[in-house]
Amino acid sequence: MSQENLSSLRQAIAQALWQPLTNLIMSLGAGLTLLPLVIVIATACLVTGGTLEPNVAHWGIANFQQAWRQGDFLLAFANSLLVALGVAAGQILTSTLAGYALARLHFGGRNIVLLLVLATLVIPFQLLVIPIFLLLKAAGLINTYGALILPTAASGFSIFLMRQYFLTIPVELEEAAMLDGANRLQILGWVLLPLARPAIVTVALFTFVGEWNDLFKPLVFTTRPELRTVQLALAELQEQFTNDWSVLMAAVTITTVPVVVVFLLGQRQFIRGIANTGIKG
């Protein structure tokens, strides 16, 4: 057997052995990742027999019904959906305009502005809560939807992500549009935004998930019961039913479903946006 054939045989054997091992490792990783979710759903579906038969259990949806009723999740879902969509719309608008300006416009101090935008990424929101609270109070926005939307309507991460994506779009497309008489806003709206849809979807997904899971802002900036979000409802339910883990797990499952649905709807654009947004100068 020649040396070349021997090398090919070794590669074939190594590949034959490595592929099952890779599949096994990936399967174990996926199983470990999904195990907590399986436990949560199984616990939520396990219905006990109540006070008369406490040791009797069966599968059912009674825990979901009780969690939905006790947590008043219809109102909480409406509030969280309004806040999440409002913040997502605000971040898409601000990050698109700022990202385009930092990527394409040449003005004095552009690099300084970019550094300031990046500097906001290392400042925790909790450090800014007092000045933000004072500003909202002066504007009369405490206990309003504005207090939940405006503080995060712009994000340094979203601006940087949109800038990076705009840098991947060939500038020749804009030059051709300018030759046809289009101005900057027309170029942004007609040429760049359709091409930047994966990045826009990525910003929307990150923002929606972050706002849906946010407990800090509703806890600090609101006290009215009619402004309760899903995370406040979940926290109150946990305090009220500390020992009823089945109801609590049912509430966790209920609050998780919208995030999973939104991600599944936008996962293809999300993956494209992450893959195409590279670190470019």
Helical (H) or strand (E) element with 161: helix 156-167
Q: Tens-of-pLDDT digits for all 281 residues of the chain?
A: 556 666 666 676 667 667 777 888 888 888 888 898 888 888 888 887 654 455 556 788 888 988 898 888 999 999 999 999 999 999 999 999 999 999 988 888 889 999 999 999 998 888 899 999 999 999 999 999 999 999 999 999 999 999 999 998 888 988 888 888 888 888 888 889 988 988 999 999 999 999 999 999 999 999 999 999 999 998 888 765 556 788 888 999 999 999 988 888 877 776 766 666 554 44
* Angstrom distances, CA of residue 220 to CA of 78, 83, 130, 262: 19, 15, 10, 27
Closest among 74, 87, 79 to 208, alpha carbons compared: 87
pLDDT attached to residue 240: 53
What ranges make up the beta strands (E) of the chain? 46-49, 53-59
User: Which residue's entry shows tokens 């170029």?
Assistant: 187
Over the Cα atoms of the chain, what is R_g? 25
Q: Looking at residue 279, what is its pLDDT?
A: 44
pLDDT for the residue numbered 281? 43
| Residues pairing with 53 in the sheet | 49
- Domain 63-276 CATH class label: mainly alpha
Q: Where in the chain is the domain with CATH 1.10.3720.10?
A: 63-276
Residue 227 CA, chain-centre distance (Å), reads: 21
Residue in this structure with the two tokens 């289009």, named with its chain if needed: 182
